[in-house]
C-alpha cells in the first residue's frame, strides 16, 4: 500500500449558469422587485420635489421671458435703486459669510483645545443661536440695537468705546453691518459644527508627532489643521453663501429693508414687489436670484463630489 495520499478528481456537477437557469431567473426577478420597491419608496419624495421646486422654477422662467417679464427687466435695470440692492447683497454676503467662518473656526479650535474644560456645556451654549427661530432672534437683536434702551449701546458706552448712542438700525451707513452681525450670530454655530467634526477626524498621533518635533501651536495650525479641514471649510463657506443670498427673515423683521433701502437685498426686493402685486417684477428679480444661487449650487455640488472622492480614495 502506498504512503502517498490518494488523489481524487472532483468534478463539479454544476455547469455554468445559462440564461435559462432557474436560479438566474429568480435572481433577476428579485433584483427587479427590489428596484420597483426602491422606486416606489422614492417616488413620493420625487413628486414632492417636482411640486415644490421644478414647477415654481418653470413658472418663474415662463413669466420672466414673457412680454411683461421683459418689460420688468427693463424697469429693473433703469431703476436707480437696483445698483444699491446689488451692492447691499454683495456686502451682506461677504461680511456675514466671512464673520460666520471666522467665529465658527475660533469656537471649534477653542473647544478642541487641550486646556478647555466642560466642552460639552460650552458647545451646547454656542448652539443656542442656531436653535432659536429666526423671528425670535431678530426681535431680540432689534431690542439690543435700540437707540434708547438697547444693550449694545449700553455696553459700548460703559466701556468708553462710544460717547453717544449709535443708531444701529436707523443709520444707513451702519444698518447693513449691524444686521450682518445678527446673521453671523445665527450661522456661526453651523460652521463650528462642521469644523469640529473635521478636527475630530485628525489623527492625534500626527499632532503629537509634530509637538515632539518642536512644532508650536501656530505651525500645527498652519501645516496640519488647516490643510486637513480645507475641504470642510469650502463646503461650509458655500453653504453659508447660499444661506446669505436667500436671507429674508432677519432683515425684514428688523428693518423691512430700510432705512431708505439701505438694507434691501434681493430677497427683500422680491417680497416688496410681491406686496404691491407686481408679478412680472417678482419673476424678474427671482430669475436673477435663481441664477446667482445656481452658480453657487454648482460649486457646492462639485465641492461635495471632490470631498467624497477624497474620502473614498
Does 229 reside within a domain? yes
pLDDT of residue 11: 41
pLDDT of residue 264: 94
Residues in the chain: 313
Spatial contact of 52 and 59, defined as CB atoms under 8 Å apart: no
Does 13 reside within a domain? no
Residues contacting 155, CB < 8 A, separation 6+: none
Q: What is the C-alpha to C-alpha distance for residues 168 and 174, in angstroms, rounded to an integer?
A: 6
> What angle, 0 to 180 degrees and rounded to 10, lies between the N-to-C axes of helices 82-111 and 230-245?
140
Q: What is the C-alpha to C-alpha distance for residues 31 and 33, in angstroms, rounded to an integer?
A: 5
Does 32 reside within a domain? no
Q: Which of 274, 268, 233 is nearest to 253 (CA)?
A: 268
CATH code at position 229: 1.10.3720.10
The secondary structure of the chain, three-state, reads CCCCCCCCCCCCCCCCCCCCCHHHHHHHHHHHHHHHHHHHHHHHHHHHHHHHHHHHHHHHHHHHCCHHHHHHHHHHHHCCCHHHHHHHHHHHHHHHHHHHHHHHHHHHHHHCCCCCCCHHHHHHHHCHHHHCCHHHHHHHHHHHCCCCCCHHHHHHHHCCCCCCCCCCCCCCCCHHHHHHHHHHHHHHHHHHHHHHHHHHCCCHHHHHHHHHCCCCHHHHHHHHHHHHCHHHHHHHHHHHHHHHHCCCHHHHHHCCCCCCCCCCCHHHHHHHHHHCCCHHHHHHHHHHHHHHHHHHHHHHHHHHHHHHHHHHC
Does 40 reside within a domain? no
Residue 121: HSE in the Cβ half-sphere, 13 Å Cα cutoff: 3
| Count of domains forming the chain | 1
Does 21 reside within a domain? no
Does 57 reside within a domain? no
pLDDT of residue 9: 41
- Looking up cell 451707513, which residue turns up? 173
* pLDDT-flagged residues of the chain (< 70): 1-23, 303-304, 306-313
Q: What is the C-alpha to C-alpha distance for residues 50 and 55, in angstroms, rounded to an integer?
A: 6
pLDDT in tens, 280-297: 998 999 888 888 888 877
Q: What is the C-alpha to C-alpha distance for residues 60 and 286, in angstroms, rounded to an integer?
A: 7
Q: Which of 238, 274, 277, 237 is nearest to 257 (CA)?
A: 274
Does 79 reside within a domain? yes
List the Cα angle 113/118/119 in 5-degree steps. Answer: 50
Residue 297: HSE in the Cβ half-sphere, 13 Å Cα cutoff: 8
Domain that holds residue 133: 63-312
Q: What is the C-alpha to C-alpha distance for residues 261 and 257, in angstroms, rounded to an integer?
A: 5
pLDDT of residue 45: 87
Spatial contact of 303 and 240, defined as CB atoms under 8 Å apart: no
pLDDT of residue 3: 46
Does 31 reside within a domain? no
Amino acid at each position: 500500500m502506498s504512503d502517498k495520499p490518494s488523489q481524487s478528481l472532483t468534478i463539479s456537477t454544476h455547469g455554468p449558469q445559462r440564461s435559462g437557469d432557474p436560479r438566474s431567473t429568480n435572481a433577476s426577478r428579485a433584483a427587479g422587485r427590489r428596484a420597483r420597491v426602491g422606486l416606489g419608496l422614492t417616488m413620493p419624495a420625487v413628486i414632492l420635489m417636482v411640486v415644490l421646486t421644478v414647477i415654481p422654477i418653470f413658472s418663474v422662467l415662463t413669466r420672466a421671458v414673457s412680454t411683461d417679464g421683459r418689460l420688468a427687466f427693463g424697469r429693473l435695470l433703469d431703476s436707480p435703486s437696483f445698483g444699491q440692492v446689488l451692492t447691499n447683497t454683495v456686502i451682506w454676503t461677504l461680511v456675514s459669510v466671512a464673520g460666520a467662518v471666522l467665529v465658527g473656526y475660533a469656537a471649534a479650535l477653542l473647544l478642541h483645545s487641550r486646556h478647555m474644560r466642560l466642552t460639552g456645556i460650552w458647545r451646547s451654549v454656542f448652539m443656542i443661536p442656531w436653535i432659536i427661530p429666526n423671528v425670535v432672534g431678530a426681535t431680540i437683536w432689534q431690542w439690543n440695537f435700540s437707540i434708547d434702551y438697547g444693550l449694545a449701546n449700553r455696553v459700548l458706552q460703559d466701556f468708553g468705546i462710544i460717547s453717544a448712542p449709535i443708531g444701529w438700525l436707523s443709520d444707513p451707513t451702519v444698518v447693513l453691518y449691524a444686521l450682518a452681525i445678527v446673521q453671523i450670530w445665527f450661522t456661526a454655530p453651523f460652521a463650528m459644527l462642521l469644523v469640529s467634526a473635521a478636527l475630530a477626524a485628525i489623527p492625534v498621533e500626527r499632532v503629537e508627532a509634530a509637538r515632539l518635533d518642536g512644532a508650536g501651536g501656530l505651525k500645527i495650525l498652519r501645516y496640519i489643521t488647516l490643510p486637513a479641514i480645507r475641504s470642510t471649510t469650502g463646503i461650509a463657506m458655500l453653504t453659508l453663501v447660499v444661506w446669505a443670498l436667500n436671507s429674508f427673515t432677519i432683515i425684514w423683521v428688523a428693518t423691512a429693508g430700510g432705512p431708505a433701502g439701505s438694507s434691501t437685498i434681493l430677497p427683500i426686493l422680491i417680497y416688496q414687489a410681491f406686496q404691491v402685486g407686481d408679478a412680472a417684477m417678482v419673476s424678474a428679480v427671482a430669475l436673477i436670484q435663481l441664477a446667482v444661487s445656481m452658480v453657487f449650487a454648482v460649486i457646492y455640488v462639485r465641492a461635495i463630489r471632490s470631498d467624497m472622492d477624497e474620502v473614498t480614495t
